[in-house]
Amino acid sequence: MQESHGANRAMPNAATQLDMYRRMVRIERNDDAIRRTVKLGRLQTPYYSARGQEVIPAAVSVNLNPDDTICTIYRGIHDMVAKGVPLRPLWAEIAGRVTGTCKGKGGPMHITHPESGVMVTTGIVGSSMPIANGLAWAAKLDGSRRVSVAYFGDGASNIGAFHESLNLASLWKLPVIFVCQNNRFAEHTRYENCTAVDRIAKRAESYSMPGVTVDGNDPFEMYAVAREAIERARDGGGPTLIEAITFRFFGHVFGDDDKYMTKEEKAEAMARDPLPAFKALLLERGIATEPVLADMEKQITAEVEDAIAFAMGSEFPSSDELRRDVYATEIAL
């Protein structure tokens, strides 16, 4: 197991830093809009906010190619937005409309958009990992340089699929990166009350693969660790387990009173919000000016509002869709 300290790490150039910030703002504005729209009663849907975890998928995705794939979980809207799922069909799916990524039949817990590399969103804890293995195995068989990323939470590291997936990925040297977004809470349970090890990355040693613990709210550290793991997988070096330490700002599901968090730790985490911190750094280092970032933020806000209008103006799926996509209608022999 390795702790990431930043020594001899790759640094993103100015354009990549702005790209990371853009993805983070899209995630934040999108999340804020979903929570606001649910509060207003315009959406009736379960929602698992990942606010506060924006850095992780932004830093991973800037290192991925368009044909690289990800598998994520029900708290994974930020992973999808970072990978490039268009907001119009994303919002339509959340709203259960026929113009959604899954024709409105999946909802926010089952968004799939292969065109941008989002191969599955699953509501089953930990099931992103064996699916990502399958995609990585396919990439290895066809001789491509594609990599697969499995996102999951700290609670999922305690189920069988985690251990089975790491074992098989290491055995077959699959081009897969396991990204644990350790936000300190498994549903309603504190990390220390359900996990025996102090660092999930330590578990990588059991499967003969690199395991790295990184500050998931530090864009530069997260970028460097992700880049190293992705390049290693792409070059045939096999899998890596990345444990990205972060903090989710809200409860397990929208409406949760999050009493298992202390007011002090929540306030402290929100005061260290990685988004304004990164913005301040970009301005301080002269990577961008305030007007440039303000214009970027304005365009993203307009994109989100356009997606909401598109979704709300779309039709609900007809009854003809009830059995469609369940059974094959034509089988080639």
Largest Cα separation within the chain, whole Å, is 63
Cβ-count burial of 307 within 10 angstroms (0-12 exposed, 13-18 middle, 19+ buried)? buried
Supply the pLDDT for residue 192: 76
The pLDDT-based confidence of 214 (bands split at 50, 70, 90) is: very high
Percent of the chain at pLDDT > 70 equals 96
Residue 208: pLDDT over 70: yes
- Which helix (H) or strand (E) element contains residue 28? helix 14-39
Among residues 19, 24, 62, the alpha carbon closest in space to that of 274 is found at 24
* Residues ≥6 apart with Cβ < 8 Å to 232: 210, 238, 240
Please report where in the chains the tokens 């059974």 appear, as a residue: 327
Q: Residue-wise over 67-82: b if at least 16 C-beta within 10 A, else e?
A: ebbbbbbbbbbbbbbb
- pLDDT, average across residues 98-117: 93
Residue 6: pLDDT over 90: no
Distances (CA, A) of 224 to 5, 16, 213: 10, 12, 12
Q: What is the pLDDT of residues 47-57, one digit of tens each?
A: 989 999 999 99
Q: What is the pLDDT of residues 178-207, one digit of tens each?
A: 999 998 888 777 877 777 788 999 999 999
**DSSP state, residue 315:** P
CB 89 within 8 A of CB 113: yes
- pLDDT, average across residues 223-238: 97
Residue 5: pLDDT over 60: no
Supply the pLDDT for residue 2: 56
Please report where in the chains the tokens 């409860």 appear, as a residue: 251
Q: CA-to-CA distance for 281 and 287, rounded, in angstroms?
A: 8
Supply the pLDDT for residue 176: 98
Q: What is the pLDDT of residues 131-170, one digit of tens each?
A: 999 999 999 999 999 999 999 998 888 889 999 999 999 9
Supply the pLDDT for residue 253: 84
